[in-house]
């Protein structure tokens, strides 16, 4: 007989939106002619997204998506991740699948053959270096409970779910099925609050979900304040401690705090010369933290690895690592006198 632990094959199974970030340099006129707002993030309808995309000379297409970024980071660290997310079987979708596979992430979700195209976040960079983002979730919205493979849940030590999924009814059911199966097989559920606006849309539901299912919570200072509708950060730390086993809360330059019952661990942020693009900082912090966790490192070291990895991501464009994170973390830990 196999024991319960013998069936584990993956460190982390990420479940989230499958998005390709399309980076393009455009002139000021491009935005003006199409009446597109500058410098913010806007969710788009299919037709509008398609129209913009068709007109672009793409600079780079880089796979994105919050949980997808996390599992790609985990792979770069030397972990063994898998991913569940919905693409369309179109060019962009094939690119997403190819990229996440090449990064070392197992990805088996059945793509759509009809209906909306693969989700994308069009990032337009104007000559003044400002970024205007236009996100179209597309096929991602069609992730459903049948995509949550029971075998994959059983085979994964941690199921990592992004909060953005809760915005769609189908994805909600996928998420609940994943949580229930995780409990059935004694797997840990990790959950990212994603975005403080997302938390504000679902405050009550998120609190119930977290109490009922979540073992490891990832969020930032704004998100946990939104979750508890409480402005005093230190109070929120005492509020979350009975709801989850571990809460890892990032605070930008102030570092991060890990709450684990009666123990609160404060870890300094890594110094970054120039913050080029903060997209993916939280996703990669989670990757580093979960890598440490699956390696049975102390919570302080988990947070330290998270910070090292987040610092790499924000020092360049895009939310996927540009160096081998495994080597980076090894050298940094050694420089702090820690076992690599």
**CB closer to a second copy, 7 vs 298:** 298
- Find the part of the chain contacting a second copy (CB under 8 A) among 146-154, 215-223, 282-290, 298-306: 298-306
- The CB-of-338 to a second copy minimum distance in angstroms stands at 8
State which residue, 35 or 242, has the beta carbon closest to a second copy: 242
Residue 92, SS3 per DSSP: helix
Rounded distance, CA 243 to CA 21, Å? 34
Residue 260 CB, shortest distance to a second copy, in Å, is 7
In whole angstroms, the minimum distance from the beta carbon of 301 to a second copy comes to: 8
Q: Each residue of 304-314: b (16+ CB within 10 Å) or e?
A: bbbbbbbbbbb
Shortest spacing between CB 66 and a second copy, in angstroms: 26
- Indicate which single residue of 299, 319, 325, 329 sits in contact with a second copy (rule: CB under 8 A): 299
Q: Is 44 left (phi over 0), alpha (psi -120 to 50) or beta?
A: beta
CB 96 within 8 A of CB 58: no
- In this complex, which beta carbon is closest to a second copy, that of residue 112 or of residue 246? 246
Kindly tell me which residue out of 300, 316, 326, 330 binds a second copy, with binding defined by CB under 8 A. Answer: 300
Helix residue ranges per DSSP H, 229-324: 233-240, 281-294, 299-314
Position among 113, 129, 337, 339 found at the interface with a second copy (CB under 8 A) = 337
319, 284 contact by CB (below 8 A): yes
Q: In the bound complex, what is the minimum distance in angstroms from residue 303's beta carbon to a second copy?
A: 7
* Site for a second copy contains 5 (CB under 8 A): no
Contacts of 260 (CB under 8 A, 6+ apart): 241, 245, 246, 299
Number of residues that bind a second copy (CB under 8 A): 19
Task: Give CA–CA dist 158/291, Å, rounded.
Answer: 11
**x-or-dash string of contact with a second copy, 251-270, rule CB under 8 A:** ----x----xxxxxxxxx--
Q: Nearest distance from residue 262's CB to a second copy, in Å?
A: 4
What part of residues 116-135 is at the interface with a second copy (CB under 8 A)?
Answer: none
Helix (H, G, I), strand (E, B) or coil at 68: helix
Residues 6+ apart with CB under 8 A from 209: 166, 179, 191
Beta-carbon contacts of 135 under 8 Å, excluding residues fewer than 6 positions away, are: 19, 41, 42, 43, 44, 119, 120, 121, 122
Stretch of 10-18, 54-62, 64-72, 301-309 lying at the interface with a second copy (CB under 8 A): 301-309
Element housing 51 (H / E): helix 46-55
Q: Is residue 339 involved in binding a second copy (CB under 8 A)?
A: no
The tokens of 288 are what?
């580093």
Positions in 235-254 near a second copy (CB under 8 A): 245
Residues 6+ apart with CB under 8 A from 337: none
Q: Which C-beta is closer to a second copy: that of 267 or that of 281?
A: 267
* Token output for 126: 């104007």
CB of 299: closest distance to a second copy in angstroms?
Answer: 7
Q: Which is nearer to a second copy, 78 or 255 (CB)?
A: 255
Could you tell me the smallest distance in angstroms from the CB atom of residue 327 to a second copy?
Answer: 20
Sign of CA dihedral 169, 170, 175, 178: positive
Closest to a second copy by CB, 114 or 339: 339
13 touches a second copy by CB under 8 A:
no
What's the min distance (Å) between Cβ of 266 and a second copy? Answer: 4
Residues 130-189 that bind a second copy (CB under 8 A): none
Q: Which residues contact a second copy (rule: CB under 8 A)? A: 245, 255, 260-268, 298-301, 303-304, 336-337
């Amino acid at each position: 007989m196999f024991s319960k632990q013998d069936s584990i094959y993956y460190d982390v199974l990420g479940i989230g939106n499958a998005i390709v970030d399309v980076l393009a340099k455009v002139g000021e006129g491009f935005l003006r002619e199409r009446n597109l707002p500058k410098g913010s993030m806007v969710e788009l309808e299919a037709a509008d997204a398609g129209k913009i995309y068709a007109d672009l000379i793409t600079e780079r297409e880089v796979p994105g998506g919050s949980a997808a970024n996390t599992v790609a980071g985990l792979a770069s660290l030397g972990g063994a991740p898998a991913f569940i997310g919905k693409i369309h079987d179109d060019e962009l979708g094939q690119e997403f699948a190819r990229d996440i596979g090449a990064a070392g992430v197992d990805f088996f979700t059945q793509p759509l053959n009809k209906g909306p195209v693969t989700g994308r976040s069009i990032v337009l960079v104007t000559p003044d270096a400002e970024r205007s983002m236009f996100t179209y979730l597309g096929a991602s919205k069609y992730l459903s409970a049948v995509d949550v493979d029971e075998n994959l849940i059983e085979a994964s030590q941690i199921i990592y779910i992004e909060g953005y999924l809760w915005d769609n009814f189908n994805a909600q059911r996928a998420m609940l099925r994943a949580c229930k199966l995780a409990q059935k097989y004694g797997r840990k559920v990790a959950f990212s609050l994603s975005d403080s606006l997302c938390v504000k849309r679902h405050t009550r539901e998120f609190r119930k979900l977290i109490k009922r299912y979540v073992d490891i919570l990832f969020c930032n200072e704004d998100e946990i304040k939104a979750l508890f509708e409480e402005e005093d950060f230190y109070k929120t730390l005492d509020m979350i401690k009975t709801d989850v086993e571990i809460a890892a809360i990032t605070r930008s330059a102030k570092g991060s705090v890990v709450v684990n019952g009666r123990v609160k661990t404060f870890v300094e942020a890594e110094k970054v010369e120039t913050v080029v693009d903060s997209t993916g900082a939280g996703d990669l912090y989670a990757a580093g933290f979960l890598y440490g966790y699956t390696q049975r490192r102390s919570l302080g070291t988990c947070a330290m690895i998270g910070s090292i990895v987040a610092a790499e991501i924000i020092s360049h464009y895009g939310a996927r690592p540009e160096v081998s994170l495994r080597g980076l973390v090894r050298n940094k830990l050694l420089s702090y006198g820690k076992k690599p």
